[in-house]
Amino acid sequence: MGHVPAVDQHSGAAETTSDLRDVMRQFATGVCVVSTYEECEAGRVHDAITVNSLTSVSLAPPLISLSFRSDSGFLATLMETQQWGISILDADSERTARLFARPRHEREAALRSLPSEAGRLTGALLFGASGWMECRYRDHLVVGDHVMVIGEVLGLGVHESPSPLIFLQGGFHRFEPQR
């Protein structure tokens, strides 16, 4: 049998927010950019943010989930538009991930500077990525200080990439799959 590491004994509930954050830093996730837009008098105004909470929920029907802070301005826009694009980033896209992890007013310049195309089904921006999806709102659930949004996948595609971008221990990393 393998060695079982020592474990701090807690009351059963996470002692603090930082305890949970410390544990979750040990869980590697993929990284994506989620984009949506709002219609204004001046025309369509796009926004995009970096997300690592993407989860496949169902294959039939094809559903995914994303989680956002309840006070997120991006979430408010997404709930109004009820459609969005997802670009799954490869390891060469760390700069893109960092640009869209910034506050909204700083993301505006990134939207203008990075190559993108409007999704055929939703009009949400898609960025060069190893995979992409276009989604429509299906449902949401308020969970603690976050909102989990369920989306129906309307369209998707894969562009083979040698290495995905992952988020682990508070930073971005390259994962080299063994072939």
SS (H, E, C) 74-112: HHHHHHHHCEEEEEECEHHHHHHHHHCCCCHHHHHHHHH
The pTM score is 0.88
Helix (H) or strand (E) holding 20: helix 17-24
pLDDT in tens, 6-56: 555 555 555 688 888 889 889 889 999 999 999 999 999 999 999 999 999
Tokens coding 65: 């989930």
CB-based contact 151:122 (threshold 8 Å): no
Q: What residue segments make up the domains of the chain, in order of their start?
A: 29-162
| Burial class, 39, CB count within 10 angstroms (exposed 0-12 / middle 13-18 / buried 19+) | exposed
Q: Which amino acid is at 38?
A: E
CB-based contact 144:72 (threshold 8 Å): no
pLDDT in tens, 57-105: 999 999 999 999 999 999 999 999 999 999 999 999 999 999 999 999 9
Categorize the per-residue pLDDT at 5 as very low, low, confident or very high, splitting at 50, 70 and 90.
Answer: low
**DSSP secondary-structure letter at 17?**
H
Class (C level, CATH) for 29-162: mainly beta
84 sits in the region (left: phi over 0; alpha: psi -120 to 50; else beta) called beta
